Amino acid sequence: MLKKWIPLLGVAAVCGSLSMPQAAKAEQLTLCWAAWDPANALVELSKDFTTKTGIDMKFEFVPWTSYADRFLNELNSRGKLCDLIIGDSQWLGGAAENGHYVKLNDFFAKEGIKMDDFVPATVVGYSEWPKNTPNYWALPAMGDVVGWTYRKDWFERPELQKEFKAKYGWDLDAPKTYDQLKQIAEFFQKREIDGKTIYGASIYTERGSEGITMGVTNVLYDWGFMYENPKKPYDMNGYVNSPDAVKGLEFYKSLYDCCTPPGSSNVYMVESADAFKSGQVAMQMNFAFTWPGLYKDEKVGGDRIGFFPNPAEKYHFAQLGGQGISVVSYSSKRDAALEYIKWFAQPDVQAKWWQLGGYSCLKSVVDAPSFKSSQPYATAFLESMAIVKDFWAEPSYAELLQAMQKRVHDYVIAGKGTAKEALDDLEKDWTQIFKDDGKI
């Protein structure tokens, strides 16, 4: 998803242009992505590509705050900076329909790269346009999904376990449902632990880019919100604003009102991670890419931290993040760029990608018997990727996103109107956008 910020959760992210040491080579490729910890892992991984092929790799990494503007402008102007790009999942529709990406079907067939070898949800989310059709514009590159971390050391304190069991009638543990999560959040809200007042949970509330949408959808999906009629595309009335969707939005506001720290009206990934690292909250919502850095944190990591997938309610889903890697159609080095895609798709390369801190989407990696024990967060990641659902990937996704940001934030954070009014207005906004696009 469109993450407009700079995550510095583990190793410092690399910004600007970066070149690998030159080898004897015919050419050099430039790969464009965001400046964050996984990009550092990709630099390390790509040294093997240079060693194998003699093709030097140059990296153009920009902060998340300018990632979308920088690279969408580059694509829209048909620029030649990027030979390869790891673009957001929501760019796929526009990039495919506007001719920015090379369609990869023939190349995949020629090289024996099978989309069946990748986690199905990542193929739909990162590679396919139109969705659920065998038309591929990217190779799944970086799996990501919204999940949760919790203070395992607090949950395991005998006196808290006893008090919680007496009050709620079940053992204090990672929640399976949102009702359980809210009970835990209420239990910890304004509780004193080790002389410090702590709070229940940190959730996404940010207004400016995509934060509150990436948070609230985890709840809306579970209550029954749907983007459209499964049998009639762009028919949204009664799906976006169904009675169950209204209840889900009301729940998200109730969680915000009851159980978040003071000053939580503009929280996204950095703020949520900071709330957890500072010992301020018992639980925090965040994308899985943050988990390696949090696990390594000296104050809250190691045995102190636990991980769990987005809880269930009537249904069980989680908001997809992550990206695919594409060949830019304006590149004059298309063959070499395709060679990188072929290399990156290999099972041994994907296994090393996971070891270095990337999130592989290849089944042979995530289905390996040793995967669940390879990292303490591997099981939660695997379970989360099995239940993902994504936001619109239409060419007009930016307008669709802006509308949801406004309607949801106005209700949840600003307290304007009712949940039903917010979703009714959102359905009207989206209908108008698709009418303007000629799709209705």
The pLDDT of residue 19 is above 90? no
* 89 neighbors 322 (Cβ within 8 angstroms): yes
- Topology of domain 28-144+322-389, CATH: D-Maltodextrin-Binding Protein; domain 2 (3.40.190)
pLDDT tens-digit readout, 255-293: 999 999 999 999 999 999 999 999 999 999 999 999 999
Provide the residue ranges of all domains of the chain, joining segments of one domain with +: 28-144+322-389, 146-319+393-437
- Common-topology check for domains 28-144+322-389 and 146-319+393-437: yes
The rounded distance, in Å, linking the Cα atoms of 122 and 140 is 6
pLDDT tens-digit readout, 33-84: 999 989 999 999 999 999 999 999 999 999 887 898 899 999 999 999 999 9
The pLDDT of residue 11 is above 80? no
pLDDT band at 233 (very low <50, low <70, confident <90, very high): very high
Domain 146-319+393-437 = CATH 3.40.190.10? yes
Q: Shortest CA distance to 295 belongs to which of 2, 190, 286, 189?
A: 286
pLDDT band at 17 (very low <50, low <70, confident <90, very high): low
The owner of tokens 């760019």 is: 91
Percent of the chain with pLDDT over 90: 90
Our CA angle for 86, 87, 88, nearest 5°, is 130
* 344 neighbors 139 (Cβ within 8 angstroms): yes
Q: Shortest CA distance to 185 belongs to which of 411, 177, 213?
A: 177
pLDDT band at 10 (very low <50, low <70, confident <90, very high): very low
pLDDT tens-digit readout, 352-411: 999 999 999 999 999 999 999 999 999 999 999 999 999 999 999 889 999 999 999 999
Token digits of residue 169: 């009638």
